[in-house]
Amino acid sequence: MSVSTTAASQTRLANFPITFFAIGMGMMGFTLAMRAAETIFARSHTLSQAVLVFSVLLLIAISAGYIAKALRHSAEVAADWHHPVKIAFFPAISISLLLLATALVETAPALAEPLWLFGTGLQGVLALSVLSAWIGHRSFQTGMMTPAWFIPAVGNVIVPLAGTKLGYVELSWLFFSGGLIFWIILLTLVMNRLMFHDPMPGKMVPTLMILVAPPAVAFTAWMGLEGEVGPFGQVLLNAGYIFALLVATQASKLRNLPFALSWWALSFPIAALSIASFGYAHAAGSDAHRWIGAGLLALLVVVIFGLIWRTAMAVRAGAICVPE
């Protein structure tokens, strides 16, 4: 290998983005949405198992890349942490692990439990660290805020998905409560930023879809904690639908935007809303919600395959892992 090739590889590694973990979130969400569809339509879990294996391999590759960056380019990792947008993506690491534990909880509980415990501990540390940075000594401007700031809050409400099945009910309530509180706080701040300040940069426009994720995930977590929909569950699910419709009115802004890893923000919220729809269909015996879930899953399949293709092409063209 030539010196120039080695230098180029080191440069790409130094610029390996933390936003790669959004792929882990999206693919694990896709796995769980496939699993929910197979359950509601009484199909075998063969396809979702295949997606799970592929998702795990992707997550391992991404994790290996960022660990290598941390070992060889610690200053660049510190720069990611101090970046007003990138810092919100660090909890995507723990979220991916929690979603993996959720995917394994029924088929391999002995593996899911330690994975969930590690992911929950990591989520707690990262969420508190990010929130501490937000309210600490750093000077953040309103224009720096994007819907990606929801990611730490979303991670908290993911904890109960497997936690209730593993028997950690009180701990699940703790994270669920914290996630809901900060979702409401951040929702107010984000909507203020979107309505009264300059438009977001083009590559961050896809993160608008993240507005859908907190109520959709919270509904599924609520079902696990309470065992029934109830009025509050109705509010959460319908909030997810309302935000999805709101984001749909902004879809035209995506046209002609260049591809970036931020486009993966489209995937997990669609998966979360599909899963929530299937969950309501099962609990309430609603055929309408079963087909809403199926329609969202069909959209998710198109989005996932499109994102995988665009990401592969961007990697091949050397458009990712470059200085911003």
- d(CA 268, CA 30) in angstroms, rounded, equals 7
Tens digits of residue pLDDT in 185-199: 999 988 888 888 888
Predicted confidence (pLDDT) at residue 153 exceeds the cutoff of 60: yes
Burial of 316 (0-12, 13-18, 19+ CB in 10 A): exposed
Q: d(Cα 201, Cα 205) in Å, to the nearest integer?
A: 7
| pLDDT confidence bin for 139, thresholds 50/70/90 | low
Question: Helix (H, G, I), strand (E, B), or coil: what is residue 259?
Answer: coil
Cβ proximity of 131 and 152 under 8 Å: yes
pLDDT above 50: residue 212 = yes
Interval 156-164 mean pLDDT: 96
Q: Does residue 11 register a pLDDT over 70?
A: yes
Region 206-224 average pLDDT: 95
State the distance between the two ends of the chain, measured CA to CA, in whole angstroms. 27
CA–CA separation, 179 vs 304, rounded Å?
26
Q: How far apart are CA 219 and CA 222, in angstroms?
A: 5
Among residues of the chain, what percentage have pLDDT more than 70? 95
Q: How far is CA 52 from CA 28, 82, 174, 220, 275, in A?
A: 7, 33, 28, 20, 16
Say yes or no to pLDDT of 5 above 60: no
The label of the residue with tokens 């979130």 reads 25
Q: How far apart are CA 76 and CA 150, in angstroms?
A: 23
pLDDT, tens only, 78-118 = 999 988 888 889 999 999 999 999 999 988 999 999 999 99
pLDDT at 3 over 70: no
Pair of tokens at residue 224: 């696990």
- Contact yes or no for 158/98 (Cβ under 8 A): yes
Contact by Cβ (8 Å): 140, 116:
no
Residue pLDDT, tens place only, 241-286: 999 999 999 888 887 888 888 899 999 999 999 999 999 999 999 9
- Structure confidence at residue 7 as a pLDDT band (50, 70, 90): low
Q: How confident is the model at residue 8 (pLDDT cuts 50, 70, 90)?
A: low
Q: What is the largest CA-CA distance in the chain?
A: 65
How high is the pLDDT of residue 308?
95
**Residue 298: which residues within 8 A CB-CB, separation 6 or more?**
none
The CATH fold of domain 14-317: Glycosyltransferase (1.50.10)
Residue type, 274: S
Q: How far apart are CA 125 and CA 159, in angstroms?
A: 13
The overall average pLDDT reported for the chain is 90
pLDDT at 10 over 70: no
What would the 3-class secondary structure string for 174-220 be? HHHHHHHHHHHHHHHHHHHHHHHCCCCCHHHHHHHHHHHHHHHHHHH
Q: What is the CA radius of gyration of the chain?
A: 19
